[in-house]
Amino acid sequence: MLPTLTKQHRVIAIDVPGHGTSEHLDHDEYTCVTVGELLAGVIETLTDEAVLLAGHSSGGVLALRIAAEYRIWFLPRAVDVWFEGMVTYDPAFGSSWNTGRWHEGFDTGAALAAVRAPTTLIHTRWWHDKHGTSYDENGVLKAAMDVDDASRALERLAAAELVLISGGHLVYFERPRDYLTALAGLEVRSARHRE
């Protein structure tokens, strides 16, 4: 994925705290607000140009947080691709997500409504396509959002496009062409938005 993107873009690939080679945080610091501020600080340090954010899984929520708080950064001169380093994953990060602590101090609905930049919501639906539901037999959501969640997100985003991909959690790995096509479409829509 990265070699393809770097042919046309400056790519900033960040290991989100708790993933890859990043530092581990204190257990209570794994929230979208805290990690979002850390990532925004990294972006500010690395470039003063606008960026196109691409986030996967919780990285998508982080991209939402940053897009809602830093609205001037959406112009697509650089692509930020996160979650390349999952080897040294910190289980405290997953615990924060599973217990709901991740969303403390972060209003997803308000953030969705605050984003004015063109947005592409990639909804991976392999589990849903195979089983007819986004949930397993124990009622556990097998994705970051179900069909209804995706619909609610689209209602709140001002300039959103939905891309359905029958892929799993690692969509950029499983379906790289579909993922790159979605990013290219977002770049085109972002350029039109600037005109």
Q: Are the CB atoms for 77 and 6 separated by under 8 Å?
A: no
Q: Are the CB atoms for 150 and 120 separated by under 8 Å?
A: no
pLDDT band per the 50, 70, 90 thresholds, residue 88: low
For residue 189, pLDDT over 50 is answered with yes
pLDDT tens digits, residue range 96-145?
878 888 889 999 999 999 998 899 999 998 889 889 999 999 998 887 78
Q: What range defines the domain where residue 25 resides? A: 2-194
Q: What is the pTM of this model?
A: 0.59
pLDDT tens digits, residue range 33-58?
999 999 988 888 888 777 888 887 88
Q: Tell me which of 32-41, 43-52, 149-158, 181-190 is least confident.
A: 43-52
Output the CA torsion sign for 3, 144, 19, 62: positive
- Burial code (b: 16+ CB inside 10 Å, e: under 16) for 64-93 equals bbbbbebeebbbbebbbbbbbeeeeebebb
**Among candidates 187, 185, 164, which has minimal Cα distance to 175?**
164
Question: Tokens at residue 122, please?
Answer: 């990639």
- What CATH number is attached to the domain comprising 134? 3.40.50.1820
Please give the Cα distance from 123 to 165 (Å, whole number).
6
User: What's the structural domain count of the chain?
Assistant: 1
